[in-house]
Amino acid sequence: MAADKVQLDSIAQWEGNLSKAAENGAQFALYLAMQFGASVGEPKIKPYETAVPSDKAFVDRLNFYRRPALDANKADHSHSHRLSQFIAQGDICSARLQDAMHPEPLSFHNDATRIPDDVVANCSLATQRRLKGDTASDIEEDNTLLDDIIEQANEYRVA
């Protein structure tokens, strides 16, 4: 029991010394180096033994499922029609299989600059102005009007 108490006292003393040293940067760094330096060995990095494949389609070969296309074509319309038929019939398992085999395209058009109007309308005002190219942020300020605002606020508070 006495050994446990000595160990707890030494930990409390160490934490106290560390917190006192927080005001002195050099002493704090020394205590941290003493705490972590001996117990943690130098990291050893193993060399990468196999060559990284330079083939761009390597990641696609690893993936079993198809990736969604960036834009829609005629085949995507027939697949979405078949998917809607499965859903209308209540055949959810076939609909999920159809969706996994033929994922819907991410967009109708593969154009990053073409954003639908309803999407832009749901953006913040700052985003809408930035998309339109209106980036003027000059705001006219008159700091002398602050006194008038304070006087009006005092009038409403009294009334």
State which amino acid sits at residue 114: R
Residue 61 lies in a domain: no
**CA distance linking residue 58 with residue 61, whole number of Å:** 5
Does this model's pTM top 0.75? Answer: no
Same domain, 21 and 74: no
> Number of folded domains in the chain?
2
The backbone torsions φ and ψ at residue 117, rounded to the nearest 5 degrees and listed phi first, read -65, -35
Instruction: Annotate 7-38 with DSSP letters as a single string.
Output: HHHHHHHHHHHHHHHTTSHHHHHHHHHHHHTT
Q: State the residue range of the domain holding 129.
A: 69-135
pLDDT, tens digit only, all 159 positions of the chain:
444 444 444 555 666 776 777 777 777 777 767 666 554 555 566 666 666 667 777 777 777 777 777 888 888 888 888 999 999 999 999 999 988 888 888 877 787 778 888 888 998 888 888 888 776 666 677 777 778 888 888 887 766
Tell whether 153 is covered by a domain: no
